């Protein structure tokens, strides 16, 4: 998942790179065509196992960056990803079930009733940041790519079962 440019490769990043390399206009990052194509690819890969394991100094550095982001408190509510998805995973908050952290990357993209359509994992990350009153990062930012890499590593060995659906 580490590119030649020493950054994390994501499915959506690879889709848009392919479009650009072939003279096409890249898709917008969070919803629409990118989420639809990601859903098609996710469905085609259903049942395959996540095999993300950091190898080498650069990969370990990205993993640690994602881990630090996951456990760092942020926003007006002073919450981390771990506060909701590790320490309180599977509990209910404001009528919503908090998904446990392990497995987050197995069922993306996600159809959410609130959105009325499919959205990418980075769209969901942005929504989480808004919920805790933190300024969201841009989709495909280094912060969200590192977080995705960390979560994929935590889900190592689990089967892909996307696209998913949530309230």
What confidence tens digit (pLDDT) does each residue in 127-149 have?
999 999 999 999 999 999 999 99
What pTM did the predictor assign? 0.94
Q: Which two tokens stand for residue 100?
A: 């446990």
128 is catalytic: yes
User: For the domain 11-166, what is the CATH code?
Assistant: 1.10.760.10
- Which residues contact residue 123 at a Cβ distance below 8 angstroms, ignoring those fewer than 6 apart? 29, 30, 31, 35, 115, 139
Q: Which of 18, 81, 84, 128 is catalytic?
A: 128
What confidence tens digit (pLDDT) does each residue in 65-97 have?
999 999 999 999 999 999 999 999 888 887 888
Is the CB of residue 142 less than 8 Å from the CB of residue 116? Answer: no
């Amino acid at each position: 998942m580490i590119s030649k440019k020493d950054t994390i490769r994501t499915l959506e990043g690879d889709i848009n790179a392919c479009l650009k390399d072939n003279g096409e206009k890249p898709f917008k990052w969070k919803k629409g065509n990118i989420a639809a194509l990601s859903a098609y690819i996710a469905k085609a890969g259903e049942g395959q196992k996540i095999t993300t394991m950091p190898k080498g100094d650069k990969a370990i550095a990205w993993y640690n960056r994602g881990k630090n982001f996951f456990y760092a408190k942020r926003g007006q509510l002073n919450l981390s990803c771990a506060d909701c998805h590790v320490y309180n995973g599977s509990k209910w908050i404001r009528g919503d079930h908090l998904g446990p952290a392990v497995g987050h990357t197995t069922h993306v993209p996600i159809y959410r009733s609130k959105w009325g359509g499919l959205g990418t994992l980075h769209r969901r990350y942005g929504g989480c940041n808004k919920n805790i009153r933190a300024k969201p990062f841009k989709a495909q930012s280094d912060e969200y790519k590192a977080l995705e890499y960390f979560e994929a590593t935590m889900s190592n060995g689990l089967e892909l079962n996307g696209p998913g659906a949530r309230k």
